[in-house]
Amino acid sequence: MSSIRYPAVAAVLAAGLALLLPSSTASATSADVLGARATVRNAAGATLGTVTILSVGGKLIVTGALTGVAPGFHGFHIHSVGICDPLAVDPATGAVSPFFTAGGHLNPGGTTHGHHAGDLPSLLVASDGTVASASQTDAVTLAQIFDADGSAFIVHAGPDNSANIPTRYVSSATGVAGPDAATLATGDSGSRFGCGVITRG
């Protein structure tokens, strides 16, 4: 979703960005403010929109606008490899798993889900399939994003519970109290609906 086709969304994102940016940003030089961006596409190759990153004052400000996504909540993360192959095959199952090549959540600290460096707020998509989002994080750096194999944004098909399952809940499948291993890895957000390789600029 571009600012040219969707001026109202662009205005909302600009307002959100202004709230997130520190007041000192106005005097920052180009050396102080760095950025990145990604064009997000679905497995059929259709462009869903663009996500941008602005690095200011030790924080990353992530803004984006997408269209063509099912209404409701969707998990949204930075994944650890900058490869978005819609025909990727999961070697464990031999089945096609779009964007499996993007790896797991960016997680240099080796933590569980909800605390991954690449964890971002979920997207709430409107009934018309559009979503605009602006958030900030200091859990990840551009250096981590642009490591040897790069990184990618992933929009998941389902909602993300951030592994927030209290121990009073016991899985009927495993008998485990609280989040199981799969939940701790992904938040049960399901398959990968959209992917965008993060590039500098």
Confidence of residue 28 (pLDDT cuts 50, 70, 90): very low
Domain-embedded: residue 168: yes
In a domain, 185, yes or no: yes
54 in a structural domain? yes
Its pTM surpasses 0.75: yes
User: What type of residue is 40?
Assistant: V
Residue 1 lies in a domain: no
**Where residue 67 sits, what CATH number does that domain have?**
2.60.40.200
Q: Name the token pair of 185.
A: 């890895």
Burial of 142 (0-12, 13-18, 19+ CB in 10 A): middle
Q: Does the residue 179 lie in any domain?
A: yes
Q: Could you please report the per-residue DSSP string of 136-187?
A: EESS--HHHHTSTT--EEEEESS---TT---TT-B-TTT--BS--HHHHHHT
Residue 110 above 70 pLDDT?
yes
Q: Is residue 88 part of a domain?
A: yes
Number of H helices and number of E strands within the chain?
3, 10
Q: How far apart are CA 146 and CA 32, in angstroms?
A: 17
CA atoms within 13 A on the CB side of 115: 6
Lowest model confidence (mean pLDDT) among 23-27, 35-39, 42-46: 23-27
Number of structural domains the chain divides into = 1
User: pLDDT by residue (tens digit) across 146-179?
Assistant: 999 999 999 999 999 999 999 999 988 888 899 9
Domain assignment of residue 2, yes or no: no
Q: How confident is the model at residue 89 (pLDDT cuts 50, 70, 90)?
A: very high
How many other β-carbons are positioned within 10 Å of the β-carbon of residue 186? Answer: 20
Residues spanned by the domain of 154 = 7-22+30-200
* Assigned domain for 90 exists: yes
Contact status, residue 116 vs residue 110, Cβ threshold 8 Å: no
Residue 27 has pLDDT above 50, yes or no: no
